[in-house]
Amino acid sequence: MVNEILKSSDEVSTNQSQITITNLYKTFERDGKEKEVLRDINLNFKKGEFISLLGPSGCGKSTLLKLIGGLITKSTGSIQIDSQEVKDPISKVGFMFQKAVLLPWRTVEQNLILPIELAKGNIAEAKLRIKDLLSLVGLEGYEHYYPNELSGGMQQRISLARTLMTNPDILLLDEPFGALDEFTRENLNFSLMDIAEKSGKTVVLVTHSISEAVLMSDRIIVMGINPGHILEDMKIDFQKPRTDKIIATEKYAQYMLHIRDLLGVGR
């Protein structure tokens, strides 16, 4: 059953671009003036890749993620998922935010069912998947708990399970573990990597952490500010499954130093 939950429904070849971003610009109007947030973004993400959007605050990482998810509209350019232009949120994309945003009056099970209810899907069928999803995120047996009975890390695990509830092909994650303590965050990072590897889903993660990006990613999109633009599209060449042993390697240190230099960290 777990394998069925993780299985991607997308039949796109792994050699074909799943997400294509072409000449993308985004501006916002503030105080009667237009502010350019993203300038000339061109990217192609293949199915099954784990990509991190990395850069300082204000470089447009979260804006880019929301544009890919269809949560906000672009100014000019093109964003396509499986060759279809993104205009609104689509079912094959799951979005996870910085906070769990669980409804406090609903149990874990009821929170997990929420996206199925909103989509007017099959509730009875969805309920059959809850036990396996909770097992997947390490919280089997917590179906009838309420959010205030769970720690912050547990709430984020429930949020991840809810994101997986509709079996999306693409996971868009906006610093989902950023507010957690270092130990909980690292454990959840490894859980996320395991889920991504088993499922073959495409993952796009927004992060401020250089070490997190190097540890988890197949590619890192390093971004600069004023306006947001791409400094470098880096391939991270480590075997999978990833373990914390890579942190002690010279290659890991070289990636870290290169990114710090790109971003001007420590100067």
* Burial of residue 103 (number of CB atoms within 10 Å: 0-12, 13-18, 19+): exposed
Question: Which pLDDT does position 266 carry in this prediction?
Answer: 67
70, 167, 184, 82: which is closest to 125 by C-alpha? 167
Question: Which pLDDT does position 21 carry in this prediction?
Answer: 97
Question: Which pLDDT does position 191 carry in this prediction?
Answer: 85
Question: Which pLDDT does position 30 carry in this prediction?
Answer: 78
First to last CA, the chain: 51
Distance CA 194, CA 160 (A): 13
104 upstream amide cis, omega within 30 of 0: no
Per-residue pLDDT of the chain (267 residues; tens, 9 = 90+): 445 555 544 444 456 789 999 999 999 887 778 889 999 999 999 999 999 999 999 899 999 999 999 999 999 999 999 999 999 988 889 998 888 889 999 999 999 998 888 888 888 888 888 888 898 888 889 999 999 999 888 898 899 899 988 889 999 999 888 777 888 888 888 888 988 888 889 999 999 999 999 999 999 999 999 899 999 999 999 988 888 899 999 999 999 999 999 998 865
Domain residue limits, the chain: 2-10+18-92+168-263, 100-167
Distance CA 98, CA 62 (A): 10
Distance CA 51, CA 205 (A): 6
Say which CATH class 2-10+18-92+168-263 falls into: alpha beta
Question: Which pLDDT does position 38 carry in this prediction?
Answer: 96
- How is residue 142 written in tokens? 């917590």
Are 236 and 219 in contact by the 8 Å Cβ rule? The answer is yes
* Burial of residue 266 (number of CB atoms within 10 Å: 0-12, 13-18, 19+): exposed
Are 186 and 177 in contact by the 8 Å Cβ rule? The answer is no
Query: DSSP per residue over 145-158, as a string?
Result: --GGGS-HHHHHHH
Burial string for 180-202 (b: 16+ CB within 10 Å, else e) reads beeebbbebbebbbebbbebebb
Distance CA 17, CA 83 (A): 9
Are 70 and 149 in contact by the 8 Å Cβ rule? The answer is no
257, 255, 262: which is closest to 225 by C-alpha? 262
Distance CA 112, CA 106 (A): 9
